[in-house]
Structure 1
Amino acid sequence: MLCISGMKKEDGGAQDNPNMQAKKLTTPYLKAISGSFGGIVEASCLQPIDVIKTRLQLDRSGNYKGILHCGTIISRTEGVRALWKGMTPFATHLTLKYALRMGSNAVLQSAFKDPETGKVSSHGRFLSGFGAGVLEALIIVTPFEVVKIRLQQQRGLSPELLKYKGPVHCAQTIIREEGFRGLWAGASPTVMRNGTNQAAMFTAKNAFDVLLWKKHEGDGKVLRPWQSMISGFLAGTAGPICTGPFDVVKTRLMAQNREGGELKYKGMIHAIRTIYREEGVIALWKGLLPRLMRIPPGQAIMWAVADQIIGLYERRYLQMTPL
Structure 2
Amino acid sequence: MDSFAAGAIAGITEVITMYPLDVIKTRSQLMVGKSMGTFASLRNIVKQEGVGRLYRGILPPILMEAPKRATKFGANDLWGQFYRKLFQMEKNNQSLSILNGASAGATEAIIVVPFELVKVRLQDKKSAHLYLGTVDCLKKIIKQEGILALYNGLEATMMRHIVWNAGYFGVIFQVKARLPAQPEMLNSFIAGAVGGCVGTVLNTPFDVVKSRIQNSPRTLLPAKYNWSIPSLFIVAREEGFWALYKGFVPKVLRLGPGGGILLVVYNSLMEFFRKYKLTNPTGQIPAST
Same fold per superposition (TM over 0.5): yes
Q: 1:259: Cα distance to partner?
A: 6.8
Q: Deviations over 1:279-311 (max 9, x none)?
A: 111111111111110111111111111111111
2:21 alignment partner in structure 1: 49
State the distance in 1 between where 2:29 and 2:94 align.
34
Between the two proteins, the alignment pairs up a number of residues equal to: 281
Q: Where does 1:205-244 land on structure 2 (aligned, <5 Å)?
A: 205-214=172-181, 224-244=184-204
Check the 8 A contact 1:55/1:153 in 2, yes or no: yes
Contact 1:112 1:120 in 2 (8 A): no
Alignment partner, residue 111 of structure 1: 82
Task: Quote the Cα distance in structure 1 between the aligned partners of 2:115 and 2:64.
Answer: 6
1:113–1:121 contact (8 Å) kept in structure 2: no
Match of 2:6 in 1: 34
The answer to whether the 8 A contact 2:113-2:153 is kept is: yes
Change (3 A) 1:72 1:275: same
Q: Deviation at 1:85?
A: 0.9
Cα contact 1:112–1:121 (8 A) shared by 2: no
Contact 2:167 2:202 in 1 (8 A): no
Q: Which residue of 1 aligns with 2:157?
A: 190
Deviation at 1:132, TM superposition (A): 0.6
Matches within 5 A, 1:284-303: 284-303=244-263
Q: How far apart are residue 199 of structure 1 and its match? A: 1.6
Which residue number corresponds to residue 143 of structure 2? Answer: 176
Other-structure match for 1:280? 240
Alignment-mate amino acid for residue 258 of structure 2: G
- Find the residue that maps to 1:213 and give its secondary structure: coil
| Structure 2 contact 94–173 (Cα < 8 Å) conserved | no
Give the letter aligned to residue 184 of structure 1. Y
Contact kept in structure 2, 1:204 and 1:235, CA below 8 Å: yes
Report the Cα offset of residue 318 of structure 1: 4.2
Measure how far apart 1:116 and its partner are: 8.0
Distance 1:144 1:233 in 2: 25
Q: Answer with 187-196 or 142-151: which moved more.
A: 187-196
Aligned equivalents of 2:166, 2:222: Cα separation in 1: 36
- For normalisation by structure 2, the TM-score amounts to 0.89
1: distance between equivalents of 2:246 and 2:157?
Answer: 16
Q: Which amino acid aligns with 2:205?
A: P
* Match of residue 88, structure 1, among 27, 48, 59: 59
**In 1: Cα distance, 2:138 partner to 2:269 partner:** 33
- The Cα of 1:236 is off from its aligned counterpart by 1.0
How much does 1:106 deviate? 1.0
User: In the alignment, does 2:221 pair up with 1:254?
Assistant: no
Greater C-alpha Rg: 1
* Alpha-carbon distance, 1:244 to partner: 1.9
In structure 2, the CA distance between the partners of 1:130 and 1:117, relative to structure 1 (3 Å rule), is closer
Deviates more, 1:71-80 or 1:205-214: 205-214
Q: Which amino acid aligns with 1:78?
A: E
- C-alpha deviations, 1:3-27, integer Å up to 9, x for none? xxxxxxxxxxxxxxxxxxxxxxxxx
CA 304–83 in structure 1, closer or farther in 2 if over 3 Å, else same: same
Q: Secondary structure at the match of 1:113?
A: helix
Q: TM-score, normalised on structure 1?
A: 0.80
CA contact (8 A) 2:105 2:165 kept: yes
- Name the % identity: 32
